[in-house]
Amino acid sequence: MSDWLDASHRSCLAIPMVWRQVTDSLGEYLRFYIAWKMVEGCMSTVVGNTLPLAKLKQYAGTPELARQSAVALVLSLHDSDDEVRAWAAEVLENMGAPTMDCTAQLAELTRHVIAPVAAWACKLIGRLGEEGTRFQDILAAAVEKHVDVLVKQEAVAALAKLGNLSPSTRDILRRAAIHENPRLKRMALAALAD
């Protein structure tokens, strides 16, 4: 009899205990979710928002619109989705030079820690040709200071397209021309020869 009472008593107590564990778990999950969203929000503020795939496909067919969104396109290269990155690169490859109102932000992005973002920012400035000559110090800084050799390469390639390089920029190119990376070395020599 006492065993039966004990078992019944335990089962009555067990239901609220399970329920409490469930609500505690949900609470913890929600706290974690809110914290994650805050981190995500901060991250997007730092690195910028990426464009959705549908928008990128639209831009692939409308280079004139894409040129105005060069900054958002470049930032899309840090998206976690491979396909978003591939389509962002597709648009960037085919859109030509960016509009001049994007150039200040692109110049900022040449310092970006994510290599494809910084590399494409350099490449787009290079497409400005002579109009981009005023950004040569920015590109020269990317050659000298960016930690990723792929960004250095694109910055050198961009400088080669600008022309009218200053003596200080040419000095930086001369230093790049003795870099251990063969592609950087070759591109720097080509830029100096132009």
Partner 1 sequence: MRSIPFYPLLIVLLVGSGSYLGCDPNQLSAPLSVDPAASKTSKPEATNPRDTIPARTPTNILIGSFNLQRLGPSKISDSWVTERFADIIRKFDVIALQEITSKDQRILPALISRVNSLGNKYNFTIGPQVGRASSGYFEQYAFVYDETRILSGPGYCYPVLDEKDILHREPFVGRFQSISPVGNPFQFTLINMHTDPDEINTELDVLADVYRNVRQYEYPNEDDVLLVGDLNAPHDKLRSLNKILDFVPLIRDLPTNVRKSKMLDNILIDRLLTTEFTGRCGTIDLQNMFRIELVDALKISDHLPIWAEFSIIEQPRLNVGVAGQNQNPTLR
Q: Which of residues 154-193 bind partner 1 (CB under 8 A)?
A: 154, 157, 182-183, 186
By beta-carbon proximity to partner 1, the closer residue of 2 and 80 is: 80
Verify binding: residue 142, partner 1, rule CB under 8 A: no
Taking the C-alpha atoms of residue 117 and residue 193, their distance in angstroms, rounded to an integer, is 28
By beta-carbon proximity to partner 1, the closer residue of 8 and 32 is: 32
Taking the C-alpha atoms of residue 156 and residue 151, their distance in angstroms, rounded to an integer, is 9
The one among 6, 40, 64, 83 contacting partner 1 by CB under 8 A: 83
Taking the C-alpha atoms of residue 189 and residue 178, their distance in angstroms, rounded to an integer, is 9
The one among 7, 13, 14, 22 contacting partner 1 by CB under 8 A: 22
The tokens of 77 are what? 């290269």
* Spatial contact of 98 and 70, defined as CB atoms under 8 Å apart: yes
The one among 7, 13, 14, 26 contacting partner 1 by CB under 8 A: 26
Verify binding: residue 123, partner 1, rule CB under 8 A: yes
Residue 64: name the closest of 87, 97, 88 by CA: 97
Shortest Å, Cβ 165 to partner 1 = 19
CA 128 from chain centre, in angstroms, equals 21
By beta-carbon proximity to partner 1, the closer residue of 2 and 11 is: 11
Torsion of the alpha carbons at 52, 44, 94 and 98, rounded to the nearest 10: 130
CA 158 from chain centre, in angstroms, equals 19
Shortest Å, Cβ 59 to partner 1 = 12
Chain residues that interact with partner 1, rule: CB under 8 A? 18, 21-22, 24-26, 28-29, 33, 52-54, 60-61, 77, 81-90, 93-94, 115-116, 119-120, 123, 126-127, 148, 150-151, 153-154, 157, 182-183, 186
